[in-house]
Chain A
Amino acid sequence: MNTQSRVLKTFIRAFDLEEPVETSELAYLEYPEWTSVGHMTLVAALEEEFDAMLETSEILSMSNFDKAVEIMSRYDAG
């Protein structure tokens, strides 16, 4: 499974989304489930999925799906 698929799977799990998901709509504070509280849920889920701990700067800059994929690719060993 590539990074994008793993990130999408994690978004679906963290926000309890129904497939198919239009990833271009996944943006912080714009997508209904992606609130400031939801952001922590998402970050914790991504860290668990990728067995990693993100930097604070990465957490703050994770503003949409593509950015999340870019950040998590740094932690994708597989």
Chain B
Amino acid sequence: MTPADLTGRVALITGASRGIGLAAARRLADQGASVVLVARQIGEPVLDMFDPERLLLIEGDVGVADFSQAAVKQVFSRYRRLDILVNNAGIMRPAVTGMISDADIHESLQTNVAGVVHFTQAAARLMARTGGSIVNLSSIVGVRGVAGQLVYAASKAGVIGATLAAAKELARHNIRVNAVAPGFIETALTEGLSPEIKAETLRSIGLARPGTAEEVADVILFLASDLSRYVTGQVIGVDGGMVI
């Protein structure tokens, strides 16, 4: 068994219907994990990508407080264990500071921060039996900030704080907690950006190209598996040398 082998382990991925979440789920499944896909809605094409014997679907909104507990209970009923949690679900509502609605603030913080906290709470109890790994999706804008994304940046900085605190608290249960901070990754979140903004963004990336969801998923696999068994409380940038 290699350190990247996840045979027999159970991984729950939020926001797993597309983008980085889907890529992470596929990468973890490729390494032998049973995957629990959590999303508001999961389409048939996504299901066809996975071995039905090692697949559990849970539809719901991570921003709803009780959902995380119910989801982890389903995992408990099916597998009696949870080894990996990937807190990926997130929303972005770009707006300059004077144009941010109160509803957007609440929705963003509820999904991006409270969702991470709720799933961490629920998962950690089950994980404490076996040890495990939690990987939270932050963003380069949570580390550096960027104009026009005040709320998103605040929420992703919140994810880093939650990661660092949980890493300290859960280490005694052999639960590692780390974050990934992607830069400009081609996903549904970024496809709505104008050509001008995309061109300007590319000029700020050392490797001069956008990243892919699969490249982020590779780092998630590293953090989720025993390849990183002595790594906790870290924030790893996956940004191609982006400067903002």
Contact = CB atoms under 8 A, between A and B. Distances in A.
A40 B128 contact: yes
The secondary-structure label for the interface of chain A is helix
A18 B187 CA distance: 56
A77 interface: no
B69 interface: yes
B198 interface: no
Interface stretch (B72-80, B133-141, B144-152): B72-80
A51 interface: yes
A51 B77 CA distance: 10
Contacts of B124: 40
Contact of B69 (A40, A44, A47, A56): A56
B186 interface: no
A41 B128 contact: yes
A37 interface: yes
Contacts, number: 27
Which size bracket describes the interface of B in this complex?
Answer: 10 to 19
A13 to B, nearest CB: 13
Interface string B4-40: 0000000000000000000000000000000000000
Interface of A: 37, 40-41, 43-44, 47-48, 51, 53-56
24 contacts: A37-B169, A37-B172, A40-B124, A40-B125, A40-B128, A40-B173, A41-B172, A41-B173, A43-B125, A44-B125, A44-B128, A44-B129, A44-B173, A47-B125, A47-B129, A51-B80, A53-B72, A53-B73, A53-B76, A53-B125, A53-B126, A54-B125, A55-B69, A56-B69
